[in-house]
Amino acid sequence: MTLDADEFIRRFLLHVLPKGFHRIRHYGLLASHVRNDKLAHIRSLLGIHSNDIPSTTTATPSQSDDTTPTSPYLCPACGAPMLIIETLEPKPAARDPPIHRNIA
């Protein structure tokens, strides 16, 4: 299939997000709704047993030590503390142009 340069650029730019938008992936192997099933299938294909995988569960309050920092943000689904990776601040609003008044 051969495309003109203009058509190629047009099709390519359909995938470019407008300024200020952020791409978020909600699909693939690690999509939240299929993550456990897909990882189990991948592990079976690789021959990795579940007892070879390090545990990622959080410690219960009786097992945790007092030096572990606690997060005020808890996941509403599982109750685990959420880790803040980045905080997005809003861009400052553009200043409105000055109002011109006819003073007579």
72 within domain boundaries: no
Tokens at 68, concatenated: 């572990």
79 within domain boundaries: no
Average confidence score pLDDT of the chain: 74
Going along the chain, which residue ranges are E strands?
A: none
Query: Tens of pLDDT along 50-74?
Result: 666 665 555 455 554 555 555 577 8
Look at residue 50 in the predicted model and tell me its pLDDT: 66
| Stretch 11-34: mean pLDDT | 80
43 within domain boundaries: yes
Angstrom CA distances, 37 to 31, 33, 51, 76, 103, stand at 10, 9, 17, 22, 72
Range of the domain at 38: 25-50
| Stretch 1-30: mean pLDDT | 84
CA atoms within 13 A on the CB side of 60: 1
76 within domain boundaries: no
